[in-house]
Structure 1
């Protein structure tokens, strides 16, 4: 039986490949600060080297709603905290940065991938 961790890891693999195929450079995967995690930290060379903090949401169906609907205000706040820690730790405060969401819907056949740039504002 496939666990939710397995599904999440597969979604992150798919999202990482998708982003790399679209010119992004993955800097970090599963960056942790305290009890929170950022799925992917990337560099978008097309946007002047903007740092992109990516939350990946993966589902095997829509029974619990669309993947992006699961990103609550509380989750956004934790992502902001992790992003601020990353920028501080890497001495990148003030660098252009944004939050993207990549959703992956797994089913029969090819996964459905949606990439939402600037999914929310915080920095």
Structure 2
């Protein structure tokens, strides 16, 4: 599968996750925030809390769920990138409520799993 095909699939499922979270009351802030240390798929607001969302899609579960693909290394990159986003937006991590969620989507069977506080900061 080509890189463009993978990117298109990724954007499709990120949009699906964004729509799902909006139906749950979250407000969209930004998508695909990139920095040298990593990328955050979606940044949403849940009332007073900033939510950094990692979206994972799996066509099948042969190699595990999408949530299982968020490794320690990926978690570390997400945390560093989130701190940069907070700084860029003049928000102090010490005075801002934020969390890391994972939205895992799969095709077979078709489902959306939203895991709140999937990554513990620190």
TM over 0.5: same fold? yes
User: Structure 2: which 5+ residue stretches go unaligned?
Assistant: none
- Cα contact 2:99–2:117 (8 A) shared by 1: yes
Partner of 1:20: 22
- Cα contact 1:7–1:59 (8 A) shared by 2: no
Q: Which range is displaced more, 62-71 or 99-108?
A: 99-108
TM-score after normalising by structure 1? 0.89
Cα deviations across residues 24-68 of structure 1 (Å, max 9, x unaligned)?
A: 0010000111151100000001xxx10000000001111211111
Cα deviations across residues 82-106 of structure 1 (Å, max 9, x unaligned)?
A: 0000001101112000000001102
Paired with 2:10 and 2:63, the residues of 1 have a C-alpha distance of 15
Partner of 1:104: 105
Paired with 1:24 and 1:57, the residues of 2 have a C-alpha distance of 18
Q: CA RMSD in A?
A: 1.6
Is 1:113 paired with 2:115? no
Structure 1 SS opposite 2:105: strand
| Change over 3 Å in CA distance of 1:107–1:4 after alignment to 2 | farther
Paired with 2:84 and 2:116, the residues of 1 have a C-alpha distance of 21
Aligned residues: 118
TM-score after normalising by structure 2? 0.90
